[in-house]
Amino acid sequence: MIVGVYGSGGCGRGVLPVIRDQYSAELDPADLYFVDDTPTLSRINGHSVLAFDDFVSLSGSLHVVLAIADSTARRRLDEKCSKAGLRYLPVCAQNSVLMDKVSLGEGHILSPFVTITSNVRIGRQFHANLYSYVEHDCVIGDFVTFAPSVRCNGNVVIEDNAYIGTGAIIKQGQPGNPLVIGKNAVVGMGAVVTRSVPPNTTVVGVPARPRPE
C-alpha cells in the first residue's frame, strides 16, 4: 500500500502521523508521502513530498487522503483524484470514539479525541479536527469541515460544504425539527449557534448572527 496525504500544510502535517499510527502494521513509512500541487520542499517531517503527477506514476496500490480544510478545494481535489482512479483511505485516530449506528462516508478524517455518538449519518470527505464531537441523531452532508473543539449537539443537520470554526457550539435541535446549518454556510470561531443558519451565510458571535457586510 502506498499512501499520499494531499496537502503538505498544517492540516496534512497533523493528519499524516495519525495515518502512520493507524496503519503501522501494513504501511511502510517509506510508502507514506505528502502530495502537493506546487511542492517547494523535497521532504517534510521525514516524508518525501511529491507532485500529484509523480505520485500517480508510482507503482503499487495507491491511496490518498485529502488533508485540505477548505471544502471547495477539497471537492475539486476529490474530482481530480477520482478521475485518476485513486482510492481513499479512511483515517480514524485510535483514541477517537464511535458509538452505535454511525455511518461515515468515503474519505473521512477523524483526528485524535473526536467522539461521534449514536444514530449519526455523515457524508463524503468529512473532516473532524481535534476534540470535536457529534452528538446523537445528526445528519452531516458532504465536504463538511469541523475545526478543533466543535461541539455539535443532537438533532442537527449540517448541509454540504459547511465550515464550522474552532470552538463553535451548535445547540441541540428537536426530533422532527432539527437545527439546520445550510449548504456552504460558515460558523465563525467560538460562535454559539442557537437557531438555523441559511445557506451561503456566515454567522459569528454569541449568540451567532449573520456577519455584517
pLDDT tens digits along 14-42: 999 999 999 999 999 999 999 999 999 99
Please give the domain boundaries of the chain with CATH numbers for all domains. Answer: 2-89 (3.40.50.20), 92-203 (2.160.10.10)
136 among known catalytic residues: yes
Query: Which is catalytic among the residues 47, 108, 127, 136?
Result: 136
**pLDDT, position 212:** 76
pTM of the entire predicted model: 0.94
**pLDDT, position 211:** 83
Q: How far apart are the first and last CA of the chain?
A: 48
**pLDDT, position 213:** 66
